[in-house]
Amino acid sequence: MNHIAHWIDGLRHAGDPARAQPVYNPATGQVSARVDFADDGVVDAAATAAARAQAEWREVSLARRAEVLFRFRDLVARRSDELACLITTEHGKVLADARGEVKRGLEVADFACGIPHLLKGRFSENVGTDVDSYSIRQPLGVVAGITPFNFPVMVPMWMFPIAIACGNSFILKPSEKDPSPSLRLAELWKEAGLPDGVFNVVQGGREAVEALLRHPAVQAVSFVGSTPVARAVYETGTRAGKRVQALGGAKNHMVVLPDADLGLAADSAVNAAYGSAGERCMAVSVLVAVGDVADRLVPLVRERLDRIHVGAGLEEGIDMGPLITAEHRERVSGYIASGVSEGASLVSDGRGCRVEGHEAGFFLGPTLFDHVRPGMTIYRDEIFGPVLSVVRVGSYGEARDLINRSSFANGVAIFTRDGAVARRFQHEIQVGMVGINVPIPVPVAYYSFGGWKSSLFGDTHMHGEEGVAFYTRAKVVTARWPAPVTTGKDLGFPSG
C-alpha cells in the first residue's frame, strides 16, 4: 500500500499512521494509497520551517530566484507525463486532460520566471525640493495554499510559483482525495535547487485547514473550493488578521443566440459541460437558449452525447472518466432524480452508465436536461458533475437578467455572430470572466483568474499581476540626500 506523507523542510515527514485515510482510484473503486492527515503539531512544524527558510529566501537576489524558477519549470515540463499519470490515477480525468492541466500550470510558472520585471517599482524625482519618492514591493512571509481535488497540479501552480518568486515561503494543503502530485512537485522543487523549507506540503482535511488559518506565522491564504467553505475560510482568515483570497463555486451559463453557428455551439457546450466529468469550476452547466434556437440546438447536443466514450482515463480512446468518489457520484445522481421530480425533461440519463472491466468504478454518464426553470434545484445548485441544463428564454435581455440574478459569477459565455450584441453582453454582464464564442474563458497566465459575487471572497484575483500584488505588500520611500547644511527652524507641515 502506497503511503503518502507530508513534505517539511525538504524531506518526507511521516505522520501518525492511525490518522491516515484511504485514497481511491476512481476508475477501479479500489484503495490505491493511504495519506497522512496533519494535526496542529505537523502544521506547526511546517510553519516553523517555512518561517526560518523565508528569512533567508527573501534576501536571495531576483536573478537567483528566477534561475530556480526556470529550473523548476523545466523539470515540470520534462516530467509532465509522469504528473499527468498521477493525476489520472487519483482524480480519474482522462490522460489528455491531465496533460492539459499540467500545461496550464506551466504557463503560470513561465509568468513567474519574469519576476525581476514584475517586481519593478516606480520612481518620482523631485516630489519636493531635492526629495524623491519611490515604491517597492516586498514579500509577506509564510503563505499557504488550500487547493481542490479537481486540479491537483494546475491550481497549486496558479499560486506557489508567484508566491515563491516574490520571496515568500509556501505551505500547500492539497486535497486529500488526490494528494500524490503535491509530493512530486515538492521533489521537483528540491531538484531545482529551492532551499529546504521554502516549499512544504501538509496533507489532511479540515483540521489542517483550521490550523493553517490559526497559525500566527501564516500571513496569507489562497483557497479554491466550494462557496460555503470559501466564505468560512475568508471570514476565519481575515478575522485572524491574514490576507485571504478565497475562490468559491460556480454556475456557469452559456448563452446561444439564434444567429450563432449551432455546430460550434453544440460542440462547445458538450466539451465544456462534460470534460473532466463536469468537475471543473469553469464547466458550463447551464445552456441558455434564446428564442427558437433550443429546438435546433438540443438535438445537436443530444446526438453528440452518443459519441462520448466513458471509461478509465489511462486507456486509449476515452473521452470522460469517473467522478472522484462514490459519495460524489451518489450526490450527482441525487440531483438528476431531483430534476426529474421537479419537472425538467430528462433528454439523456447518465445514471445507467457501466464500464466493462471497471464495474466498481465511480462512473456516471453524460446527462442532459431540457426545459429547466430557474427555481429548480438543478439550476440553483452547483452540481459539479456531467449534468447540463437547458433553460429556454425569449430574448437576449431575459438571458442577461437571468445570469445577473445568479449568486454565482465565475464564468459566462455567449455564442453569436453579432459583434454589437457581444460587445453589449461583455459590458452588461455581471460576471468575472467572459467568453465570446469561447465556452471556457480561463484567462492566460498574464491576466488574472477570478469571479464575482459568491464566486470570490477577497479583493484580488489569482495569478497574473493581481497574484503578484496579493503575495507582496507595497512600501513607499520618501528620501532626501541634502548637502551638509542646516535647515533652520520650521515647524510647519512639509509642502515641498
Is 240 in the same domain as 267?
no
Q: Would you please indicate which residues are annotated as catalytic (active-site) residues? A: 281
Task: Tell me the pLDDT band of 345, cut-offs 50, 70 and 90.
Answer: very high
Q: What is the pLDDT of residues 211-260, one digit of tens each?
A: 999 999 999 999 999 999 999 999 999 999 999 999 999 999 999 999 99
Residue 496 predicted with pLDDT over 60: no
Lowest mean pLDDT, pick from 111-115, 311-315, 459-463: 459-463
Whole-number Å distance between alpha carbons of 406 and 479: 50
Q: Tell whether 6 is covered by a domain.
A: yes
Is 229 in the same domain as 281?
no
Is 61 in the same domain as 97?
yes
Q: Tell whether 216 is covered by a domain.
A: yes
Residue 320 DSSP one-character state: B
Share of the chain above pLDDT 90, in %: 96
Q: b/e string for 337-364 if b means 16 or more Cβ within 10 A?
A: eebeeeebebbbbbeebebeebeebbbb
Q: Tell whether 493 is covered by a domain.
A: no
Name 74's Cβ contacts closer than 8 Å, sequence gap at least 6.
Answer: none
Q: What is the pLDDT of residue 491?
A: 78
Q: What is the pLDDT of residues 378-425, one digit of tens each?
A: 999 999 999 999 999 999 999 999 999 999 999 999 999 999 999 999
CA distances for 195 relative to 52, 126, 165, 203, 408, angstroms: 11, 41, 13, 21, 40
Q: What is the pLDDT of residues 161-197, one digit of tens each?
A: 999 999 999 999 999 999 999 999 999 999 999 999 9
Q: Tell whether 311 is covered by a domain.
A: yes
Is 124 in the same domain as 238?
yes
Residue 490 predicted with pLDDT over 90: no
Half-sphere exposure of 102 (CA within 13 A, CB side): 26
Question: Do the beta carbons of residue 100 and residue 441 sit within 8 Å?
Answer: no
Q: Tell whether 22 is covered by a domain.
A: yes
Task: Tell me the pLDDT band of 495, cut-offs 50, 70 and 90.
Answer: low
Burial of 197 (0-12, 13-18, 19+ CB in 10 A): buried
Amino acid at residue number 366: P
Q: Tell whether 450 is covered by a domain.
A: no
Amino acid at residue number 174: P
Give mean pLDDT, residues 251-270. 98
Whole-number Å distance between alpha carbons of 473 and 135: 10
Q: What is the pLDDT of residue 485?
A: 62
Q: Tell whether 491 is covered by a domain.
A: no
Q: What is the pLDDT of residues 58-116, one digit of tens each?
A: 999 999 999 999 999 999 999 999 999 999 999 999 999 999 999 999 999 999 999 99
Is 236 in the same domain as 257?
no
Estimate to the nearest angstrom the gap between the alpha carbon of 416 and the chain centroid: 28
Is 226 in the same domain as 126?
yes
The CA radius of gyration of the chain, in Å to the nearest whole number, is 25
Q: How many residues does the chain have?
A: 496
Give mean pLDDT, residues 307-325. 97
CATH classification at residue 462: 3.40.605.10
Full residue range of the structural domain in which residue 222 is found: 2-248+455-477
Is 37 in the same domain as 109?
yes
Total structural domains within the chain:
2
Q: What is the pLDDT of residue 489?
A: 78
Whole-number Å distance between alpha carbons of 56 and 34: 34
Q: What is the pLDDT of residue 487?
A: 65
Question: Do the beta carbons of residue 4 and residue 23 sit within 8 Å?
Answer: yes
| Average pLDDT of the residues of the chain | 96
Last residue of a domain, one of 409, 436, 463: 436
Q: Tell whether 72 is covered by a domain.
A: yes
| Predicted structure pTM score | 0.95
Q: What is the pLDDT of residues 43-52, one digit of tens each?
A: 999 999 999 9
Is 369 in the same domain as 341?
yes
Whole-number Å distance between alpha carbons of 212 and 222: 11
Sign of the torsion formed by the C-alpha atoms of 332, 336, 337 and 341: positive
Residue 42 predicted with pLDDT over 70: yes
Question: Do the beta carbons of residue 416 and residue 437 sit within 8 Å?
Answer: yes
Name 311's Cβ contacts closer than 8 Å, sequence gap at least 6.
Answer: 27, 317, 318, 321, 355, 358, 363
Q: What is the pLDDT of residue 486?
A: 65
Is 198 in the same domain as 303?
no
Is 329 in the same domain as 398?
yes
Task: Tell me the pLDDT band of 1, cut-offs 50, 70 and 90.
Answer: confident
Is 154 in the same domain as 218?
yes
Phi, psi of 294 (to 5 degrees): -60, -35
Residue 287 predicted with pLDDT over 60: yes
Question: Quick one: which H or E segment has residue 240?
Answer: none
Share of the chain above pLDDT 70, in %: 99
Is 242 in the same domain as 296?
no
